[in-house]
Amino acid sequence: DGGITQSPKYLFRKEGQNVTLSCEQNLNHDAMYWYRQDPGQGLRLIYYSQIVNDFQKGDIAEGYSVSREKKESFPLTVTSAQKNPTAFYLCASSASANTEAFFGQGTRLTVV
């Protein structure tokens, strides 16, 4: 089955801790993305990667970090510098710019 797998589905973090969200795709897509979704707001872009070993900041990158060491994987780290990390995080991929985007099932992060 081709698709995007995000793990874990639910994640709880204590204040001051860093956590890493996993995103893996087997669609052979070059581009990958991380979005954040909050109630009543549209999806907001955190980071995106056009190709392996390259990534760019999106609209709300502060407090987040990413890596793209393999084509299939684009993990997102939510650092303690992110002041309001509780949200639903969505990973996506596309073959290239301006092509159809495919999404994972999301990770719900809660700070306790």
Residues that bind other proteins in the complex, under the rule CB under 8 A: 4, 6, 31, 33, 40-45, 48, 50, 56, 58, 90, 92, 94, 97-106, 108
Query: Which is nearer to other proteins, 84 or 98 (by Cβ)?
Result: 98
Q: Select 79 or 103, whichever has its Cβ closest to other proteins.
A: 103
Nearer to other proteins, 17 or 96 (CB): 96
User: Minimum CB separation from other proteins for residue 11, in Å?
Assistant: 14
Residues 6+ apart with CB under 8 A from 96: 30, 31
Q: In this structure, are residues 79 and 62 in contact, taking their beta carbons and an 8 Å threshold? A: no
Q: Measured between alpha carbons, how far is 38 from 20 in angstroms, rounded to an integer? A: 19
What are the CA-CA distances from residue 21 to residues 44, 62, 76, 107 (Å)? 17, 16, 5, 7
Q: 11 or 80: whose CB is closer to other proteins?
A: 11
- Give the nearest distance from C-beta 9 to other proteins in angstroms: 9
Answer yes or no: are the C-beta atoms of 93 and 3 closer than 8 Å. no
Residue 40: CB minimum distance to other proteins, A:
7
